[in-house]
């Protein structure tokens, strides 16, 4: 048996931190709160690193049993932890990026109220995320899944006095519920048909089934339902609406939860369930289509956004679309690879954006920024790295992962590839648009004005544009390095590393990869190079266009916008999706609830029943209370009458 790694410590450490801060943090100084939060989060990271170092000595997948949880007949769920290459990658990403963002948050949130609360939530999030990642079964994963939703809700609504923050939190929660609904039904189906939720047990029984062809069946349904869950958590097409609103939360939260880790849980889950998807081509296709469309759709919206964090939010959705696209063409390792690099550069982008916002005193509108290059050089350079990375410019991390995805997408269908390349162009365009608008040109903002428009960063001393403190810059620098170098591992090596996870269960697939495909690979190398050039060109084109429009001729975008007219407004208003949803779903539900459930059923049936019975009781009592006259003798009379009736009854019964 492999050594006991005490994997349970990894999630539990942040939980301890969360409990300490949550229960006692109010009395602690900020330093102590930060110390506790960083200490436990860092300890989890360190433990994860140690686990990674033990990897060579482990027989993967490695499971550690902790306790029995549910035992109902033959159905059994345990608390257990599951470690394989996939979860290890996630583990390192989550703890590493999470730790860096913790560090960053200390600087970012230093002057905020509820400091301890923030870190308590943050640690709580870490706990749930790690539970999700390390889960041994779907149910435990679901705990983490729901838990991160909870933490996300709490953190989005961190500034709960702000109405928009509170409703954004609610929106995130409710939209996620829809996804969870699908997830849950998928779980029920799994229980029903396989009698277990344990990954290994389920996958073992599934791998005995043959792939389902068109028309679908059980696995297709499960896959589609899992995809619904993933779409909710990872903000995919129908259910993406909560993520832009989630930007109401503090920027580190956006970086950690809504860019680097939580939103990728869907990708992780699909990758984890690859056994199911592999045998459900229809579901897989849906995943690919959804991912592709989301990538394109979100990228187009991102072009017209002016809020720096909203741009990044749509960018995130778009990049998540890429990941799903990858998963949808069964290139799970490419998806996970992109997930990792995306965690680096998107986390960096958010943190950089946070630094920018911090610098300009809480301003988030890019139209009021500009020329910040000289004021905040560190932020500028790290953001540059991140932007280049996301735009897919070699040799930055994003290039490798995105290129891999596009190449694999092409193998799936050229349509995916075409849209993917176009999206890459758009991505490059809007990211450089952001870059140019923020750091180049003249400063368009106004110190006094901006301090009034704040999401919390409104203390008077902030009117001067200033660089962020070191505690924020160091994580930026580290993430910048990772964004630069993160891709150098190379997709091939990464794929080989993750190979056991995705191919062990499909022995024939491995044989295919090693045998028949080996010849084709060599042949395709040239083609792949061409494709790489195309995608780089798309990125550079986006850079050039952004330079043209937002640096060289800043008045041009307006003219284009005017020219496009309604279409531009549609894009700027996010295609009115929120409004559409409001009309299609929210309004019917609210109206229906109001007129049928509230006025109709609740007031007219339930309340009416209760009220009528109460009124009836009262009226009866009203007449009956005159029996209680206070007159002793009338009471005695009633007693005597009752006794007489009783005696009469007894006599009658006796004489019968």
Partner 1 sequence: MVPLSYYLILGGILFACGVCGFLIRRNIITIFMSIELMLNGVNLTFVAFAAHWQRLSGQIFVFFVMVVAAAEAAVGLAIIISVYRTRETLNVDQVNLLKL
Partner 2 sequence: MIHLTLFLVFGAICVAGAVNLLVQRHPINSALSLIAVLASLAVEYLLLGAEFVAAVQVIVYAGAIMVLFVFTIMLLNAGEEERTRGSRVAMVIGIPSLLIGGVLLAWVLVRHSGTEAVLAGALPGSPENVAWMLFHEFLLPFEVTSVLILIAIMGAVVLAARPEATSTGPGKES
Q: Measure Cα distances from 367 to 300, 433, 436, 566, 646 in Å.
A: 19, 11, 11, 21, 91
Nearer to partner 1 by Cβ, of 395 and 637: the residue is: 637
Q: Which is nearer to partner 2, 519 or 653 (CB)?
A: 653
The item of partner 2, partner 1, none sharing an interface with residue 636, based on CB under 5 to 8 Å by kind, is partner 1
Q: Mark 317-337 as b/e (b = at least 16 C-beta within 10 Å).
A: bbbbbbbbbbbbbbbbbbbbb
Residues at the contact surface with partner 1, assessed by CB under 8 A: 625, 628-633, 636-637, 640
- Residue 533 binds: one of partner 2, partner 1, none (C-beta under 5 to 8 A by kind): none
Q: How far is the CB of 71 from partner 1 (least distance, A)?
A: 58
Q: Indicate the SS3 state at residue 441.
A: coil
Q: Which is nearer to partner 2, 605 or 644 (CB)?
A: 644
CA dist 281 and 286 (Å) reads 9
- Residue identified by tokens 């609210």 is 590
Radius of gyration, CA atoms only, the chain: 30
Minimum distance between the CB of residue 612 and partner 1, rounded to whole angstroms? 24
Minimum CB–partner distance for residue 643 and partner 1 (Å):
8
Residue 553 binding partner per list partner 2, partner 1, none, with a CB distance cut-off of 5 to 8 Å that depends on partner kind: none
The nearer residue to partner 2, 211 or 637, going by C-beta atoms, is 637
Q: Which of 492/645 has CB closer to partner 2? A: 645
Which does residue 113 bind out of partner 1, partner 2, none, counting CB within 5 to 8 angstroms by kind? none
b/e sequence 413-435, b meaning 16+ C-beta within 10 Å: beebbebbbebbbbbbbbbbbbb
Q: Closest separation between CB of residue 628 and partner 1, Å? A: 5
Number of residues near partner 2 (by CB under 8 A): 3
User: What is the smallest separation between the CB atom of 642 and partner 2, expressed in angstroms?
Assistant: 13
Q: How far is the CB of 632 from partner 2 (least distance, A)?
A: 14
Query: For residues 321 and 487, what is the distance between their CA atoms, to the nearest angstrom?
Result: 19
Q: Among residues 211 and 637, whose Cβ is nearest to partner 1?
A: 637
Shortest distance, position 654 Cβ to partner 2, whole Å: 13
Q: What is the smallest separation between the CB atom of 634 and partner 1, expressed in angstroms?
A: 9
Q: Are 275 and 505 in contact (CB under 8 A)?
A: yes
Burial of 443 (0-12, 13-18, 19+ CB in 10 A): middle
Strand, helix or coil at 135? strand
Which residues in the 268-297 window bind partner 2 by CB under 8 A? none
Q: Which does 630 bind (CB under 5 to 8 A by kind): partner 2, partner 1, none?
A: partner 1
Alpha helices in 413-505 (DSSP H): 414-439, 447-452, 470-485, 491-503
Contacted entry of partner 1, partner 2, none for residue 625, CB cut-off 5 to 8 Å set by kind: partner 1
Nearer to partner 2, 27 or 633 (CB): 633
Binding string, residues 338-367; x marks residues near partner 2 by CB under 8 A: ------------------------------
For residue 514, give the H/E element and its range.
helix 507-514
Cα–Cα distance measured from residue 267 to residue 253, given in angstroms and rounded to the nearest whole number: 19
In this complex, which beta carbon is closest to partner 2, that of residue 518 or of residue 644?
644
Q: Which is nearer to partner 1, 588 or 637 (CB)?
A: 637
Nearest distance from residue 616's CB to partner 1, in Å? 19
Binding mask of the shown chain, residues 609 to 648, with x at each position contacting partner 2 by CB under 8 A: ----------------------------x---x--x----
- With respect to partner 1, which residue has the nearer C-beta, 537 or 644? 644
Tokens representing 197?
A: 């939720």
The yes or no reply on residue 217 touching partner 2 (CB under 8 A) is no
Q: CB count, 10 Å around CB of 260? A: 31
CA distances from 564 to 260, 489, 560, 568, 571 (A): 34, 43, 6, 5, 10
Residue 633 host element (H or E):
helix 632-655
Distance of closest approach, residue 622 Cβ to partner 2, in angstroms: 21
Phi then psi dihedrals of residue 244, to 5 deg = -60, -40
Quote the tokens at residue 312. 């990044």
CB-based burial, 52-63: b 16+ in 10 Å, e otherwise: eeeeeeeebbbb
Closest C-alpha among 391, 380, 372, 385 to residue 443: 372
**Contact residues: partner 2, CB under 8 A:** 637, 641, 644
């Amino acid at each position: 048996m492999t050594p006991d790694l005490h994997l349970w410590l990894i999630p539990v450490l942040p939980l301890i931190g969360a409990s300490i801060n949550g229960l006692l943090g109010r009395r602690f100084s900020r330093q102590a709160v930060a110390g506790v939060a960083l200490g436990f989060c860092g300890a989890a990271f360190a433990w994860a690193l140690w686990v990674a170092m033990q990897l060579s000595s482990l027989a993967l997948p490695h499971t550690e049993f902790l306790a029995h949880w549910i035992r109902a007949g033959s159905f059994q769920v345990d608390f257990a932890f599951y470690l394989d290459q996939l979860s290890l990658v996630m583990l390192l990403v989550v703890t590493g990026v999470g730790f860096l963002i913790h560090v960053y948050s200390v600087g970012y949130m230093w002057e905020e109220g509820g400091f301890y609360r923030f870190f308590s939530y943050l640690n709580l999030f870490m706990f749930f995320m790690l539970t999700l990642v390390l889960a041994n079964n779907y149910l435990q994963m679901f705990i983490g899944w729901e838990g991160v939703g909870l933490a996300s809700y709490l953190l989005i609504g961190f500034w709960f006095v702000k109405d928009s923050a509170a409703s954004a939190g609610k929106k995130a929660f409710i939209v996620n519920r829809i996804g969870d609904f699908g997830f849950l039904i998928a779980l029920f189906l799994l229980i029903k048909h396989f009698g277990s939720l344990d990954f290994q047990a389920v996958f073992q029984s599934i791998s005995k089934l043959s792939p389902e062809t068109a028309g679908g069946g059980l696995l297709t349904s499960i896959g589609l339902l899992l995809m619904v869950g993933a779409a909710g958590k990872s903000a995919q097409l129908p259910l993406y609406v909560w993520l832009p609103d989630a930007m109401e939360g503090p920027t580190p939260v956006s970086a950690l939860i809504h860019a680097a880790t939580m939103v990728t849980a869907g990708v992780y889950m699909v990758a984890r369930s690859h056994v199911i998807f592999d045998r459900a081509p229809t579901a897989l296709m849906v995943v690919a289509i959804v991912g592709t469309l989301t990538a394109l759709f979100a990228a187009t919206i991102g072009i017209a956004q002016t809020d720096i964090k909203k741009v990044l939010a749509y960018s995130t959705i778009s990049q998540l679309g890429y990941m799903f696209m990858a998963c949808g063409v069964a290139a799970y390792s490419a998806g996970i690879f992109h997930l990792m690099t995306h965690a680096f550069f998107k986390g960096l982008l958010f943190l950089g954006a946070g630094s920018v916002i911090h610098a300009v005193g809480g301003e988030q509108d890019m139209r009021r920024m500009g020329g910040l290059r000289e004021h905040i050089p560190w932020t500028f350079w790290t953001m540059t790295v991140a932007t280049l990375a996301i735009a897919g410019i070699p040799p930055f991390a994003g290039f490798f992962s995105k290129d891999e995805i596009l190449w694999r997408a092409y193998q799936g269908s050229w349509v995916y590839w075409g849209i993917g390349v176009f999206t890459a162009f758009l991505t490059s365009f809007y990211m450089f648009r952001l870059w140019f608008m923020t750091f180049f040109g003249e400063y368009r903002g106004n110190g006094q004005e901006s301090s009034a428009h704040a999401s919390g960063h409104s203390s008077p001393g902030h009117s001067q544009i200033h660089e962020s403190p070191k505690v924020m810059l160091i994580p930026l620098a580290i993430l910048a390095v990772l964004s630069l170098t993160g891709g150098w591992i190379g997709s091939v090596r990464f794929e080989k590393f993750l190979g056991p996870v995705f191919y062990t269960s499909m022995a024939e697939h491995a044989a295919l990869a090693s045998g028949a495909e080996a010849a084709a690979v060599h042949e395709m190398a040239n083609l792949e190079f061409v494709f790489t050039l195309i995608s780089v060109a798309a990125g550079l084109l986006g850079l050039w266009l952004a330079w043209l429009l937002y640096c060289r001729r800043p008045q041009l975008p307006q003219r284009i916008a005017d020219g496009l007219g309604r279409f531009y407004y549609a894009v700027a208003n996010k295609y009115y999706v929120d409004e559409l949803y409001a009309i299609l779903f929210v309004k019917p539900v609210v109206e229906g609830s109001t007129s049928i459930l509230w006025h109709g059923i609740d007031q007219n049936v339930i309340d009416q029943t209760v009220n009528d019975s109460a009124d009836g009781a009262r009226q009866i009592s009203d007449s009956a209370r005159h029996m209680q006259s206070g007159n002793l003798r009338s009471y005695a009379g009633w007693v005597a009458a009752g006794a007489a009736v009783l005696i009469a009854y007894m006599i009658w019964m006796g004489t019968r």
